[in-house]
Amino acid sequence: MAKTLTQGVLAFAGALALPIGASAHAQEAVYQPPQDELVEAMAIMEVMFPAETREETMLSVATSMGGQAADGMMQGPIFEEPGIKAIVEKFLSDLPETMRPAISKHLPGMIEATAVAYTREFTLEELQDIRAFADTPSGTRYFSSVQNLLNDPVVAEANTAFFQDVSVISQQQSQAVQQEVIEYLQANPDVMQRLQDAGVGSGS
C-alpha cells in the first residue's frame, strides 16, 4: 500500500512538469473593439506584418527565440556529448518546417488579436498617429523590420544569458513545488484518490 501511494504521489507531482498558468486566467466578457479603431489597428498590422512575408517573419522570430532559449538552457555535460548535441541541433534546424502548419493555421487569428489589443491600449487618435508614422518610409521600415532585431548578435547574447538564468530558476522552483505537492498528497490520500478517479497522473 505504501509503495502504491508513493508511486501515485510521484505520478501526480510529475504532472507539474507541464506548463501551468494558462488555465488560471479568468474568462472575461467578450470585448468588441470600436470598428474605426480596429480599422486603424489592422492597417498598422499590415505594415508590421506584410501579407507576403508575415509567415516567414513569424517563423524567423520563433526560430530565433527557440535557438536562443536552447543555447541558454542546454547546459551541463549531457549537452557536451556530440551525439546529443547533434540531435538537438537537428531539432532546431527542423523547427521552422515543423512549426509551419501551426503558424499558417493560427497566424491570421494572432494578427487580428494583436490588432484588437492595440484598440484596448491606444485611443483612436493615437492609432491614427501610429498609422500615419507607419505609412512613412521610415515607419514602414521600422515596423516591418523590428522583429529582425532578435537576430542581432548583441540581442541574441543577452537573450541567451537570460534563458540560462531562467533554466536554473525553473529547475529549482519545479523541484520545490513538486516536493510540496508530494508532501501534500502523502498527507491527504483522499485528495490523491479523487485525482486518480479523475484520471490525473494516469499517463493517458
pLDDT score, position 21: 45
189 and 115 share one domain: no
102 and 127 share one domain: yes
pLDDT score, position 14: 54
117 and 174 share one domain: no
Residue 201: inside a domain:
yes
How many domains is the chain partitioned into structurally?
Answer: 2
143 and 176 share one domain: no
pLDDT score, position 86: 84
pLDDT score, position 16: 46
CA gyration radius for the chain? 23
Residue 195: inside a domain:
yes
Residue 16: inside a domain:
no
Over the stretch 95-114, which tens digit does the pLDDT of each residue have? 788 888 988 999 999 999 99
Q: CB 169: neighbour CB atoms within 10 A?
A: 10
pTM of the model: 0.62
103 and 140 share one domain: yes
- The pLDDT mean for the chain works out to 80
Q: What stretch of H or E contains 180?
A: helix 153-187
CA 83 to chain centre: 28
Residue 169: inside a domain:
yes
Task: Give, as one character, the DSSP assignment of residue 30.
Answer: P
Residue 18: CA count within 13 A, CB half-sphere: 12
Residue 108: inside a domain:
yes
* Contact indicator for 107, 58 with CB cutoff of 8 Å: yes
Q: Which residues in the chain come in under a pLDDT of 50?
A: 1-5, 9, 15-24, 26, 204
Over the stretch 181-196, which tens digit does the pLDDT of each residue have? 888 888 888 888 888 8
Quote the domain boundaries for residue 191: 164-204
Residue 138: inside a domain:
yes
Grid cell digits, residue 42:
489592422
CA pair distance 170, 131, nearest whole angstrom: 40
